[in-house]
Homo-oligomer: A and B are copies of this chain.
Amino acid sequence: MTAQLDEEKTLSDKASARLTQAIITGELVQGQKLSEADLATRFGISRGPLREAIRQLEGLGLVTRVPHAGARVVTLNDDTMRNLYQVREALEGFACRMAAQHMTDDEIKKLRTLLNEHEMQIDASAGQAYYQSEGDLDFHFQIALGSRNQMLIDLLAGELYQLLRMCRYRTSNLANRTRLALQQHHQILDAIANRDADLAEMLMRRHISGAWKSISQMMETS
Protein backbone atom coordinates (compact mmCIF):
# COMPACT_ATOMS: atom_id res chain seq x y z
CA MET A 1 0.00 0.00 0.00
CA THR A 2 2.25 2.77 1.23
CA ALA A 3 5.54 1.20 0.27
CA GLN A 4 7.88 4.07 0.99
CA LEU A 5 11.27 2.74 0.02
CA ASP A 6 14.54 3.43 1.74
CA GLU A 7 14.35 7.16 1.11
CA GLU A 8 12.69 8.44 4.23
CA LYS A 9 13.93 11.73 5.52
CA THR A 10 15.77 11.08 8.75
CA LEU A 11 17.69 8.13 10.12
CA SER A 12 15.13 7.75 12.90
CA ASP A 13 12.34 7.39 10.38
CA LYS A 14 14.32 4.88 8.35
CA ALA A 15 15.10 2.89 11.48
CA SER A 16 11.49 3.08 12.55
CA ALA A 17 10.30 1.73 9.20
CA ARG A 18 12.91 -1.00 9.18
CA LEU A 19 12.10 -2.07 12.73
CA THR A 20 8.41 -2.17 11.93
CA GLN A 21 9.07 -4.31 8.90
CA ALA A 22 11.33 -6.63 10.87
CA ILE A 23 8.75 -7.04 13.61
CA ILE A 24 5.86 -7.73 11.25
CA THR A 25 7.70 -10.26 9.15
CA GLY A 26 8.91 -12.07 12.23
CA GLU A 27 12.57 -11.34 11.56
CA LEU A 28 12.46 -10.05 15.11
CA VAL A 29 10.72 -12.77 17.08
CA GLN A 30 7.91 -11.88 19.47
CA GLY A 31 9.16 -11.11 22.94
CA GLN A 32 12.72 -10.74 21.72
CA LYS A 33 14.81 -8.14 23.46
CA LEU A 34 15.90 -5.18 21.36
CA SER A 35 19.56 -4.47 22.06
CA GLU A 36 20.28 -0.86 21.22
CA ALA A 37 23.95 -1.44 20.52
CA ASP A 38 23.27 -4.48 18.34
CA LEU A 39 20.54 -2.86 16.26
CA ALA A 40 22.49 0.36 15.90
CA THR A 41 25.47 -1.44 14.39
CA ARG A 42 23.22 -3.62 12.23
CA PHE A 43 21.53 -0.52 10.83
CA GLY A 44 24.79 1.36 10.59
CA ILE A 45 23.55 4.28 12.65
CA SER A 46 24.14 5.68 16.10
CA ARG A 47 22.16 4.85 19.19
CA GLY A 48 20.46 8.26 19.28
CA PRO A 49 18.15 7.91 16.29
CA LEU A 50 17.59 4.25 17.15
CA ARG A 51 16.32 5.13 20.61
CA GLU A 52 13.93 7.65 19.06
CA ALA A 53 12.65 5.00 16.69
CA ILE A 54 12.05 2.62 19.60
CA ARG A 55 10.18 5.33 21.46
CA GLN A 56 7.97 5.84 18.44
CA LEU A 57 7.26 2.13 18.09
CA GLU A 58 6.41 2.09 21.76
CA GLY A 59 3.79 4.74 21.09
CA LEU A 60 2.44 2.58 18.27
CA GLY A 61 2.20 -0.43 20.53
CA LEU A 62 4.68 -2.61 18.66
CA VAL A 63 7.24 -2.79 21.47
CA THR A 64 7.02 -2.59 25.24
CA ARG A 65 9.70 -0.82 27.18
CA VAL A 66 10.70 -0.98 30.82
CA PRO A 67 13.13 1.65 32.14
CA HIS A 68 16.73 0.53 32.47
CA ALA A 69 15.82 -2.92 31.21
CA GLY A 70 15.35 -2.38 27.50
CA ALA A 71 12.56 -2.82 24.96
CA ARG A 72 11.03 -6.08 23.77
CA VAL A 73 8.90 -6.92 20.76
CA VAL A 74 5.26 -7.13 21.79
CA THR A 75 3.97 -10.67 22.19
CA LEU A 76 0.73 -11.64 20.49
CA ASN A 77 -0.81 -14.33 22.64
CA ASP A 78 -4.36 -15.54 22.15
CA ASP A 79 -5.73 -12.88 24.45
CA THR A 80 -4.23 -9.92 22.64
CA MET A 81 -5.26 -11.35 19.30
CA ARG A 82 -8.83 -11.74 20.53
CA ASN A 83 -8.68 -8.18 21.85
CA LEU A 84 -7.42 -6.95 18.50
CA TYR A 85 -10.21 -8.62 16.57
CA GLN A 86 -12.77 -7.24 18.98
CA VAL A 87 -11.46 -3.70 18.59
CA ARG A 88 -11.52 -4.15 14.85
CA GLU A 89 -15.09 -5.39 15.10
CA ALA A 90 -16.07 -2.20 16.87
CA LEU A 91 -14.11 0.22 14.69
CA GLU A 92 -14.56 -1.35 11.28
CA GLY A 93 -18.22 -1.94 11.98
CA PHE A 94 -18.62 1.71 12.73
CA ALA A 95 -16.50 2.68 9.72
CA CYS A 96 -18.84 0.59 7.60
CA ARG A 97 -21.82 2.47 8.99
CA MET A 98 -20.18 5.78 8.14
CA ALA A 99 -19.14 4.53 4.71
CA ALA A 100 -22.76 3.70 3.92
CA GLN A 101 -23.56 7.33 4.60
CA HIS A 102 -20.63 9.01 2.91
CA MET A 103 -19.17 6.96 0.06
CA THR A 104 -19.99 8.30 -3.38
CA ASP A 105 -21.65 6.09 -5.97
CA ASP A 106 -18.46 6.29 -7.98
CA GLU A 107 -16.37 5.00 -5.07
CA ILE A 108 -18.80 2.14 -4.56
CA LYS A 109 -18.57 1.21 -8.22
CA LYS A 110 -14.78 1.20 -8.12
CA LEU A 111 -14.80 -0.92 -4.99
CA ARG A 112 -17.06 -3.41 -6.74
CA THR A 113 -14.57 -3.56 -9.57
CA LEU A 114 -11.81 -4.17 -7.06
CA LEU A 115 -13.69 -7.11 -5.58
CA ASN A 116 -14.14 -8.62 -9.02
CA GLU A 117 -10.42 -8.27 -9.66
CA HIS A 118 -9.71 -10.01 -6.39
CA GLU A 119 -11.98 -12.81 -7.49
CA MET A 120 -10.05 -13.28 -10.68
CA GLN A 121 -6.74 -13.20 -8.84
CA ILE A 122 -7.97 -15.92 -6.52
CA ASP A 123 -9.06 -18.03 -9.47
CA ALA A 124 -5.70 -17.53 -11.13
CA SER A 125 -3.48 -18.13 -8.12
CA ALA A 126 -5.69 -20.94 -6.78
CA GLY A 127 -5.68 -19.95 -3.16
CA GLN A 128 -2.24 -18.46 -2.69
CA ALA A 129 -2.49 -16.80 0.67
CA TYR A 130 -0.63 -13.68 -0.41
CA TYR A 131 -3.29 -12.34 -2.74
CA GLN A 132 -5.94 -13.35 -0.28
CA SER A 133 -4.44 -11.30 2.51
CA GLU A 134 -3.57 -8.25 0.47
CA GLY A 135 -6.93 -8.22 -1.24
CA ASP A 136 -8.73 -8.50 2.06
CA LEU A 137 -6.73 -5.64 3.57
CA ASP A 138 -7.37 -3.56 0.47
CA PHE A 139 -11.13 -3.87 0.85
CA HIS A 140 -11.10 -3.03 4.53
CA PHE A 141 -8.86 -0.04 3.86
CA GLN A 142 -11.23 1.34 1.25
CA ILE A 143 -14.12 1.02 3.70
CA ALA A 144 -12.12 2.92 6.28
CA LEU A 145 -11.46 5.67 3.74
CA GLY A 146 -15.16 5.81 3.02
CA SER A 147 -15.91 6.68 6.64
CA ARG A 148 -14.47 10.16 6.04
CA ASN A 149 -13.13 10.05 9.59
CA GLN A 150 -9.39 10.65 9.57
CA MET A 151 -8.91 9.44 13.13
CA LEU A 152 -10.63 6.17 12.30
CA ILE A 153 -8.50 5.85 9.17
CA ASP A 154 -5.31 6.46 11.12
CA LEU A 155 -6.19 3.88 13.74
CA LEU A 156 -7.20 1.20 11.25
CA ALA A 157 -4.47 1.86 8.70
CA GLY A 158 -1.80 2.48 11.35
CA GLU A 159 -1.39 0.69 14.64
CA LEU A 160 -4.15 -1.88 14.24
CA TYR A 161 -3.09 -2.61 10.70
CA GLN A 162 0.45 -3.45 11.74
CA LEU A 163 -0.72 -5.71 14.53
CA LEU A 164 -3.16 -7.43 12.20
CA ARG A 165 -0.38 -8.16 9.75
CA MET A 166 1.62 -9.68 12.61
CA CYS A 167 -1.35 -11.93 13.35
CA ARG A 168 -1.68 -12.88 9.72
CA TYR A 169 1.98 -13.75 9.57
CA ARG A 170 1.80 -15.83 12.71
CA THR A 171 -1.37 -17.74 11.81
CA SER A 172 -0.24 -17.88 8.19
CA ASN A 173 -3.10 -19.23 6.09
CA LEU A 174 -4.50 -21.48 8.75
CA ALA A 175 -8.02 -20.88 7.65
CA ASN A 176 -8.58 -20.66 3.95
CA ARG A 177 -11.68 -18.56 4.00
CA THR A 178 -11.01 -16.50 0.89
CA ARG A 179 -14.17 -17.62 -0.93
CA LEU A 180 -16.40 -16.98 2.05
CA ALA A 181 -14.67 -13.68 2.78
CA LEU A 182 -15.14 -12.46 -0.76
CA GLN A 183 -18.81 -13.36 -0.67
CA GLN A 184 -19.24 -11.45 2.56
CA HIS A 185 -17.40 -8.48 1.09
CA HIS A 186 -19.91 -8.38 -1.73
CA GLN A 187 -22.81 -8.51 0.74
CA ILE A 188 -21.30 -5.68 2.76
CA LEU A 189 -20.86 -3.61 -0.35
CA ASP A 190 -24.46 -4.33 -1.31
CA ALA A 191 -25.61 -2.91 2.00
CA ILE A 192 -23.46 0.16 1.50
CA ALA A 193 -24.79 0.63 -2.03
CA ASN A 194 -28.31 0.48 -0.62
CA ARG A 195 -27.29 3.07 1.99
CA ASP A 196 -28.38 0.63 4.69
CA ALA A 197 -26.04 1.73 7.47
CA ASP A 198 -27.44 -0.63 10.11
CA LEU A 199 -27.10 -3.68 7.92
CA ALA A 200 -23.65 -2.66 6.70
CA GLU A 201 -22.38 -2.35 10.27
CA MET A 202 -23.91 -5.65 11.30
CA LEU A 203 -22.48 -7.53 8.34
CA MET A 204 -19.01 -6.15 8.90
CA ARG A 205 -19.15 -7.12 12.55
CA ARG A 206 -20.18 -10.64 11.66
CA HIS A 207 -17.50 -10.80 9.01
CA ILE A 208 -14.78 -9.97 11.52
CA SER A 209 -16.09 -11.96 14.46
CA GLY A 210 -16.51 -14.90 12.13
CA ALA A 211 -12.92 -14.56 11.00
CA TRP A 212 -11.80 -14.63 14.61
CA LYS A 213 -13.88 -17.68 15.43
CA SER A 214 -12.35 -19.47 12.50
CA ILE A 215 -8.83 -18.49 13.51
CA SER A 216 -9.23 -19.38 17.17
CA GLN A 217 -10.71 -22.74 16.25
CA MET A 218 -7.80 -23.50 14.01
CA MET A 219 -5.35 -22.48 16.68
CA GLU A 220 -6.74 -24.60 19.45
CA THR A 221 -6.84 -27.71 17.29
CA SER A 222 -3.22 -27.32 16.26
In the complex, what distance in Å separates the CA atom of A154 from the CA atom of B55? Answer: 17
Supposing A67-B9, A94-B90, A98-B86 touch, asked if A150 and B80 sit within 8 A by C-beta, the answer is yes
- Contacting B at CB under 8 A, from A85-104, are 86-87, 89-91, 93-94, 98
Judged by a CB distance under 8 angstroms, whether A137 is at the interface is: no
Q: Which of A56-99 contact B (CB under 8 A)?
A: 56-61, 67-68, 79-80, 83-84, 86-87, 89-91, 93-94, 98
A34: min CB distance to chain B, Å: 15
- Residue A39 at the B interface, CB < 8 A? no
Q: Is the interface of A mostly helix, strand, loop or mixed?
A: helix
Which residues of chain B are near A67, meaning CB under 8 Å?
A: 9-10, 13
The reply on A48 being an interface residue by CB < 8 A is yes
Per a CB cutoff under 8 Å, which of B51, B79, B87, B149 touches A152?
Answer: B87
Question: What 1/0 mask marks residues of chain A from 108 to 142 whose CB sits below 8 Å from any chain B CB?
Answer: 00000000000000000000000000000000000
Q: Out of B51, B57, B90, B154, which one reaches A91, CB within 8 Å? A: B90
A87 cross-chain contacts in B, Cβ below 8 A: 91, 94, 149, 151-152, 155
A12 within 8 A of B: yes
Instruction: Give the residue name and chain of the B residue nearest to A91 (CB).
Output: B90
- A104 to B: closest C-beta gap in Å: 19
Bound form: Cα–Cα A68–B10 in Å: 9
Residue A190 CB within 8 A of the other chain: no
Q: Which residues of A pack against B, CB within 8 Å?
A: 9-10, 12-13, 48, 51-53, 55-61, 67-68, 79-80, 83-84, 86-87, 89-91, 93-94, 98, 149-152, 154-155
Can you name 27 A-B pairs with beta carbons within 8 Å? Answer: A9-B68, A10-B67, A10-B68, A12-B55, A13-B67, A48-B48, A51-B52, A52-B55, A53-B55, A55-B55, A55-B56, A55-B59, A56-B59, A57-B59, A59-B59, A79-B150, A80-B151, A83-B152, A84-B151, A86-B151, A86-B152, A87-B91, A87-B149, A87-B151, A89-B94, A90-B93, A91-B91
